Structure 1
Amino acid sequence: MNPFIKIRRELHQIPELGFQEYKTQQYLLDYLSKLPQERLEIKKWRTGLFVKIQGIKPKQTIGYRADIDGLPIHEETGLDCLSVHEGRMHACGHDFHMSIALGLITHFVNKAIDDDLLFIFQPAEEGPGGAEPMLKSEIMAGWQPDMIIALHIAPEYPVGSIGVKEGLLFANTSELFIDLKGKGGHAAYPHQTNDMIVAACALVTQLQSVVSRNVDPLDSAVVTIGKITGGTVQNVIAETARLEGTIRTLSAESMARVKDRIIALVNGIETGYQCQAAVDYGSMYHQVYNEEVLTREFIEYAEQRSGIDVIHCKEAMTGEDFGYMLAEIPGFMFWLGVDSEYGLHHAKLNPNEAAIEKAISFIADYLQFKSAQN
């Protein structure tokens, strides 16, 4: 078995939520400790890692980011390497991302190139967001790369393919939490209460008009309410309700416009249903914007490589906090085809492990090519 498939399976068994990746961090450290240490320097940052490989005659530092956290999902894959953490799963492919990064580190500690390489194992990508604070850390200030890249698995693409485009790749995203508080009471006396189940339902319906009537039809935005909680028992009118959702837009201007409209609708609910409301946007992720020159060069390189099929993809409404790094450091992200019947964040996601070896080989060659340019 390919050693990095074995690593992926072991990592798949220990998914941990954002900033709780203690086992994961230790696993990475244990593996890295067995590699040649002459040109390797490792620094811990919270539950993440910075791993620097010194080049022979560096003119630049090339960065590579791999996220490391899992999701609060009960796994239903039936795999032998099933998660041993109940209610936790690597359902977004971060186990793949880490094993590929370890494969690249292993390659370059044994085969030096001219430039320095910085591998960033980033916690909390799924929330509350590790990229922005990691970017602002003292370690990054001393080791900040001149360019940076990352990948994300794509279940819908076949193994051997990559999806990439210049410019905007992933959307601006924001969490959305709305708490409503009215007056509860007996179900037989609704006139003596302010029912927050009714208010919540009305608000959900009104929120559907935000995109259709407040966003330019030539732009794109999404407002999704994924969870509603409220009430205690069938014969008691609910005093409180909570809506949880997400906002996604292809421009910062649309994000601001959508949020303004949500506040206006919530204010109307307060008046119309005689209740109190609070809105919290939680974590917000910056758009992933691929720097045009570097991305175009990468596409041209990939198109000339045998065994790699380049898919010129469209922008997606997915969110990725790697966007914060790209806002400060030139670089790009691309999709890696893994050919899974089930998609990202699904309890049955089962990526094809053949993509791991292909990714390591392809990216290692690209990084060597990029270093040799200078």
Structure 2
Amino acid sequence: MIDFSELVTVRRHLHQIPELGFEEFKTQQFLLDYISKLPQEHLAIKTWKTGILVKVNGSDPEKTFGYRADIDGLPIEEETGYEFSSNHKGKMHACGHDFHMTIALGLVTHFSKNPGKENVLFIFQPAEEGPGGALPMLESEEFNEWRPDVIVGLHIAPEYPVGTIATKEGLLFANTSELFIDLKGRGGHAAYPHQANDMVVAASHFVTQLQSIVSRNVDPLDSAVITVGKIEGGTKQNIIAETARIEGTIRTLSSVSMNKVKKRLEAILDGVKTGFECEAALDYGANYYQVFNDSALTKEFMEFAEMQPEVSIVNCKEAMTGEDFGYFLKEIPGFMFWLGVHSKSGLHSSRLMPDENALQTAVNLLKNYFTWKINE
């Protein structure tokens, strides 16, 4: 098995080369180069776009167990002060995907030398942060030729100490959707508002009305969040804005509520178009399906993890975070769990600094778990 010092070396190299979704060319090449140096007798490798599928062939397979690691970074300027900080200006592994890949490589290293009865498929998936790589990969010919019977994934959790594994049966992550709206009216001089059509005012009315959706259209026993994170409009203080752009996200704990929220949002937007006599373009961007853990498999994993001396299990609550791993779980039984990495700064922070000792925790746990499952 790959030792701890090599895990750290691999993680730090990957941390320096973050790339955005479907642009992970250096990352893909590094992964391929690393895998090419392992024993090849039991390995089969395919590429899909900037992703990779690595199958460890079992001796007498009846099932294939899948493990997914996402590989892309975020458009964030790093502020960790690491000696191994990102070499790509304005890009950073601020969501732990460098950890996810390193853990997967540690497992590939072990199982390339220690295959079992069943197959193990390692899925290096691009574009989790956007525009979404899971769904098109799931639908690809390459994936379906090796489609696993069970699939597992993890995500680092800065709020938990190293050694903690947190998960739950059923819903773990929310349904999520991006939101982009462009309004276009008629600009003009600030002294003649009656001759113009102000899109700053239109955008303000729209955002204010959005606040009624969760309180008046979503079941109080359900949960939903609509966040407008960015508004742009106008060019100068004495010019009435001809255009405005609204950017945000929608998050719900059920797919039914997601549909309700979108339907109501579109009705409000139609009202703004009519009331302000303007044009509006709506784009939901990347949409991610809820992460819903298979109850039996999750319970079995948690009971197994409880027997591991280095691991502490937490039965956590569901979170409003989004993960396109949900598309895999919609089609294939499996589960996802949080891996404690103890960082003062959280996910998507420019100062995220996860504890590298968690790499060994994850590799040891998953090595033992998959060894058990593929040799049952």
TM range (shorter): over 0.9
Instruction: Name 2:329's counterpart in structure 1.
Output: 326
Which structure 2 residues correspond to residues 1-374 of structure 1 after superposition, within 5 A? 2-373=5-376
Shift of 1:227: 1.1
Partner amino acid, structure 2, of 1:213: R
| Cα displacement string for residues 243-262 of structure 1 (whole angstroms, at most 9, x for unaligned residues) | 01111111111011100110
| Cα displacement string for residues 317-358 of structure 1 (whole angstroms, at most 9, x for unaligned residues) | 111111111111110000000000011111111100000011
Measure, in 2, the Cα distance between the counterparts of 1:13 and 1:231: 38
| Cα displacement string for residues 221-244 of structure 1 (whole angstroms, at most 9, x for unaligned residues) | 011111111112222111000101
| Cα displacement string for residues 176-213 of structure 1 (whole angstroms, at most 9, x for unaligned residues) | 11111111011222221111111111111111111111
Gaps of 5+ in 1: none
Q: SS where residue 327 of structure 2 aligns?
A: helix
Shift of 1:269: 1.1
| Cα displacement string for residues 256-292 of structure 1 (whole angstroms, at most 9, x for unaligned residues) | 1100110111111112222111211112111111011
Partner amino acid, structure 1, of 2:358: A
Shift of 1:57: 2.1
Measure, in 1, the Cα distance between the counterparts of 2:375 and 2:215: 50
Measure, in 2, the Cα distance between the counterparts of 1:271 and 1:40: 60
Measure, in 2, the Cα distance between the counterparts of 1:189 and 1:309: 67
Shift of 1:2: 1.1
Measure, in 1, the Cα distance between the counterparts of 2:186 and 2:123: 50
Shift of 1:372: 2.5
Relative to structure 2, which stretch is displaced further, 148-157 or 204-213?
A: 204-213
Shift of 1:95: 0.2
Q: Which 4+ runs in 1 deviate beyond 4 A?
A: none
Measure, in 2, the Cα distance between the counterparts of 1:102 and 1:362: 14
Relative to structure 2, which stretch is displaced further, 6-15 or 263-272?
A: 263-272
Using the size of structure 1 for normalisation, the TM-score is: 0.98
Partner amino acid, structure 1, of 2:271: G
Measure, in 2, the Cα distance between the counterparts of 1:106 and 1:270: 57
Q: SS where residue 179 of structure 2 aligns?
A: strand
| Cα displacement string for residues 35-77 of structure 1 (whole angstroms, at most 9, x for unaligned residues) | 1111111111000000011112222110000000000111111
Shift of 1:316: 0.6
Measure, in 1, the Cα distance between the counterparts of 2:101 and 2:312: 23
Identity of aligned residues (%): 65
Measure, in 1, the Cα distance between the counterparts of 2:344 and 2:359: 17
How many residues are aligned here? Answer: 373
Shift of 1:121: 0.2
Measure, in 2, the Cα distance between the counterparts of 1:353 and 1:234: 50
Measure, in 2, the Cα distance between the counterparts of 1:307 and 1:300: 14
Partner amino acid, structure 2, of 1:204: V
Shift of 1:114: 1.5
Measure, in 2, the Cα distance between the counterparts of 1:319 and 1:184: 38
Measure, in 2, the Cα distance between the counterparts of 1:69 and 1:79: 19
Q: SS where residue 339 of structure 2 aligns?
A: strand
Measure, in 2, the Cα distance between the counterparts of 1:257 and 1:100: 39
Q: SS where residue 172 of structure 2 aligns?
A: strand
Partner amino acid, structure 1, of 2:152: I
Using the size of structure 2 for normalisation, the TM-score is: 0.98
Measure, in 1, the Cα distance between the counterparts of 2:181 and 2:365: 45
